[in-house]
């Protein structure tokens, strides 16, 4: 009976990102969407992997604490940043987007996505991250200006969408493509299996283990 209940858990995605919704639908046939308004103050965390895990956890906790969540639920949240000399989040202006694109032009950068999973019945958290490398072709000033005139950069970490028009400027990637888009579904499947809701073996990465690696300068 317990296994049946676990297999029928209600899955909640704590994000309104169309990209994450599309990616999660590839591995979970049915889920609810509950966007969060969690405070994204990072308290000075500069390490990219620690930052994305910290923010993913905050979003997951916020969803659990500010909604009437069925105890038979699993909450999934995520956060993505680009790292190229420093953490690049979402641009706040056209000038900000221009600077970000200039900084990654002709270079290899890293994309980090942190994911948090919470079992509402036990309030058990599982937090992990994935990292992919992306090499971008060198862009001319005209190409950069043309791109930032579009709507595409302005809700994306690093000011670009690899699955969008910017894809033509990608020279190569190393690691998970889905991680770059915003949800590392291969790793997610393994971690979900640890909650007995997807039938696949995985290694356990618990919040307690990850928490010891989350450092604040």
How far apart, in whole angstroms, are the C-alpha atoms of residue 60 and residue 38? 9
Catalytic residue among 79, 119, 130, 194: 79
Do β-strands 10-13 and 73-83 pair in parallel, antiparallel, or remain unpaired?
Answer: parallel
Q: Angle formed by the axes of helices 141-148 and 94-104, to 10°?
A: 140
Q: Is 79 a catalytic residue?
A: yes
How far apart, in whole angstroms, are the C-alpha atoms of residue 216 and residue 73? 31
Identify the helix (H) or strand (E) that includes residue 32: strand 32-33
113 contacts 179 by C-beta, under 8 angstroms: yes
19 contacts 181 by C-beta, under 8 angstroms: yes
How far apart, in whole angstroms, are the C-alpha atoms of residue 125 and residue 208? 8
Mapping DSSP to helix (H, G, I), strand (E, B) and coil, where does residue 200 land?
coil
Both tokens of 195, joined, read: 């909650």
> Which of these, 23, 71, 50, lies nearest to 184 by C-alpha position?
23
81 contacts 89 by C-beta, under 8 angstroms: yes
Catalytic residues: 79
């Amino acid at each position: 009976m317990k296994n049946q209940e676990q297999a029928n858990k209600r899955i909640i995605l704590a994000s309104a990102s169309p990209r994450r919704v599309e990616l999660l639908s590839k591995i979970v046939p049915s889920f609810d969407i509950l966007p969060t308004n969690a405070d994204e103050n990072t308290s000075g965390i500069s390490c990219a992997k620690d930052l994305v895990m910290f923010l993913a956890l905050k979003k997951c906790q916020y969803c659990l604490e500010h909604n009437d969540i069925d105890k038979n639920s699993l909450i999934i949240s995520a956060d993505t940043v680009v790292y190229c000399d420093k953490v690049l989040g979402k641009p706040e202006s056209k000038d900000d987007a221009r600077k970000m694109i200039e900084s990654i032009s002709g270079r290899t950068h890293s994309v980090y996505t942190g994911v948090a999973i919470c079992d509402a019945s036990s309030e058990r958290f599982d937090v992990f991250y994935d990292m992919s490398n992306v090499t971008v072709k060198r862009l001319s000033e005209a190409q950069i200006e043309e791109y930032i005139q579009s709507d595409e950069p302005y809700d994306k970490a690093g000011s670009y969408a690899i699955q969008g028009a910017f894809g033509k400027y990608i020279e190569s990637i190393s690691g998970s493509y889905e991680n770059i888009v915003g949800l590392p579904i291969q790793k997610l499947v393994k971690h979900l299996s640890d909650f007995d809701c997807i039938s696949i073996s995985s290694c356990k990465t618990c919040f307690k283990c990850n928490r010891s690696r989350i450092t604040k300068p």
